[in-house]
Amino acid sequence: MSTIRVLIADDQDLVRGALAVLLDSEPDIEVVAQVGRGDQVLDAVRSSSVDVALLDIEMPGGTGIEAAELVRDAGLDCGVIIVTTFGRPGYLKRALSAGVRGFVVKDTPPAQLAEAVRRVDSGLRVIDPSLAQESLFSPENPLTDREIEVCRAAQDGSSVKAIASSLSLSNGTVRNHLSSVIRKTNANNRFEAVRQAQDSGWL
């Protein structure tokens, strides 16, 4: 029996450790690497010859979806599963476009998670059924790439001036983009608009 070599990436030590214990108890699965940042995933996949990577979405140093894109673009033979508490349809669509082959929530029973690892390792796709159904009826992301960039810069409550400086844009351009996002999300202000974009998985 060949062993499936697994990487776990999650910024919460307790979650990462619990997942490792659960998967290591399976006779055909071995957790060979653990990281707490998105920007550590690619190097860990390479150095540890990882077969399947389990990635959280929200991590410092880059999201799990961004890390999945790096793994895909590097041409590495590694299946990626997003394991997250954020079961949002917008995230699922972005993950699939990034080459992710699995998307499950963190309260997935251990036996199902282990089976998801096996299925993804064999080249199959595993998607949480309820989330897959939701995604069929969720609206497409209406934001442009630049609006997404501005929203991400505004997530921490930065001022228009600070956002403009960080993105090398004029204050007026930032205001125009934020106004467009407010209109597209039917929000009352930019803070509410950014939150709605986050909750929809558009960022």
| pLDDT recorded at residue 120 | 97
C-alpha dist (Å) from residue 129 to 92, 102, 104: 11, 11, 9
| pLDDT recorded at residue 89 | 66
Domain ranges of the chain: 4-137, 145-199
| pLDDT recorded at residue 56 | 94
Contact residues for 17 (Cβ-Cβ < 8 A; gap 6+):
34
Q: What is the pTM of this model?
A: 0.70
| pLDDT recorded at residue 95 | 86
| pLDDT recorded at residue 141 | 82
| pLDDT recorded at residue 25 | 95
> Tens-of-pLDDT digits for all 203 residues of the chain?
689 999 999 999 999 999 999 999 999 999 999 999 999 999 999 999 999 999 999 899 989 999 999 999 999 999 999 998 866 767 787 888 889 999 998 888 999 999 999 999 999 999 887 776 666 556 678 899 999 999 999 988 899 999 999 999 999 999 999 999 999 988 999 999 998 887 777 87
Fold of 145-199: Arc Repressor Mutant, subunit A (1.10.10)
Please name the residue ranges forming H helices in the chain.
13-24, 41-47, 64-73, 89-97, 110-121, 129-137, 145-154, 160-167, 171-185, 190-199
Contact residues for 2 (Cβ-Cβ < 8 A; gap 6+):
28
Closest CA to 83 of 19, 141, 137, 38: 19
What architecture is domain 4-137? 3-Layer(aba) Sandwich (3.40)
